[in-house]
């Protein structure tokens, strides 16, 4: 999709799919390789993501893994603040997104460190989130936990209109793989994801090392890189504009391969 996301004057085009690299400032995110808690670890991870081709660095301070403990607002705020201090110092030009469901964390991040994308996995359940992002004038990722594309389309259309009525400009849609869906439902949504393009907004696919990979294959999150790359490639072929991943280099390669595949289709 040819769409431009404005992050404080920094324009991100989705004409070619983008890769978002995950930096978790948590002790319990389900994939240990994405965790970085000390300043040196945060700096190393940020440089690794950027060096491998991440267009966006997604910072999370509260794990949302099934059965995990939810950090307090104060804990999440301090974790995200610490990570942003390091990333802004080490990579001042990096485009950053904040993985949070708390409006207060969004306000802190933008107020103290400048414009960034707000990546909300709560499906906008907090009534204050929509007014907050609209007032902050930053891009917003809206996720759905609906189990099928039909219900997702209805929900997205309603919530996008709510956001537009508040003056929200840039909106990215996330089908919410792994949230509120069975294994079979996840794969059905992936297969039908292109139907969401009718809404005219960029699509983000967050499939990386999730249970829909390792549960199907009888492995673990640590062993799910190959399956993740397969799903990322399918997502790109089915309309994904942004891949949210733990493993940036492999995702960048998937983007390059699907780009070449499509270029061959256009010349035939």
Residues 8, 196, 226, 182, CA torsion sign? positive
Token reading at 162? 């709510």
Question: Mapped to the 3 state alphabet, what secondary structure does 30-59 carry?
Answer: CCHHHECCCHHHHHHHHHHHHHCCCCEEEE
Q: Is 210 a catalytic residue?
A: yes
The residues facing 172 across adjacent strands are 141
195 tagged catalytic: no
Residue with tokens 């040196």: 40
Contacts for 212 with CB less than 8 Å, ≥ 6 apart: 177, 178, 183, 186, 187, 231
Which residue of the set 244, 249, 259, 262 is catalytic?
244
Rounded to an integer, what distance in angstroms lies between the CA atom of residue 96 and that of residue 137? 15
In the set 146, 169, 210, 211, the catalytic residue is 210
Backbone phi, then psi, for 244, in 5-degree steps?
-95, 115
Task: List, by residue number, the catalytic residues.
Answer: 210, 244
């Amino acid at each position: 999709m040819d769409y431009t996301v404005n992050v404080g004057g920094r324009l991100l085009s989705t004409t070619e799919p983008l890769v978002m690299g995950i930096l978790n400032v948590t002790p319990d995110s389900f994939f240990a390789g994405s965790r970085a808690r000390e300043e040196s670890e945060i700096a190393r991870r940020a440089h690794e993501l950027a060096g491998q081709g991440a267009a966006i660095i997604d910072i999370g301070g509260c794990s949302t893994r099934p059965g995990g403990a939810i950090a307090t607002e104060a804990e999440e705020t301090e974790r995200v603040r610490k990570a942003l201090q390091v990333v802004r110092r080490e990579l001042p030009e990096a485009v950053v997104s904040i993985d949070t469901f708390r409006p207060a964390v969004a306000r802190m991040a933008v107020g103290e460190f400048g414009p960034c994308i707000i990546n909300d996995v709560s499906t906008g359940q907090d009534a204050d989130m929509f007014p907050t992002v609209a007032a902050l004038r930053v891009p917003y990722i809206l996720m759905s936990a609906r189990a099928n594309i039909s219900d997702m389309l209805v929900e997205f259309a309603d919530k996008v209109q709510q956001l537009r009525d508040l003056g929200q400009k840039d909106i990215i849609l996330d089908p919410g793989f792994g949230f509120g869906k069975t294994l079979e439902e996840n794969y059905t949504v992936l297969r039908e994801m292109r139907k969401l393009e009718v809404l005219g907004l960029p699509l983000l696919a967050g499939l990386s090392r999730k249970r829909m990979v390792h549960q199907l294959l009888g492995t673990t999150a640590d062993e799910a890189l190959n399956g993740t790359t397969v799903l990322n490639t399918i997502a790109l072929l089915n309309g994904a504009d942004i891949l949210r991943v733990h493993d940036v280099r492999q995702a960048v390669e998937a983007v390059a391969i699907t780009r070449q595949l499509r270029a061959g289709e256009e010349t035939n």
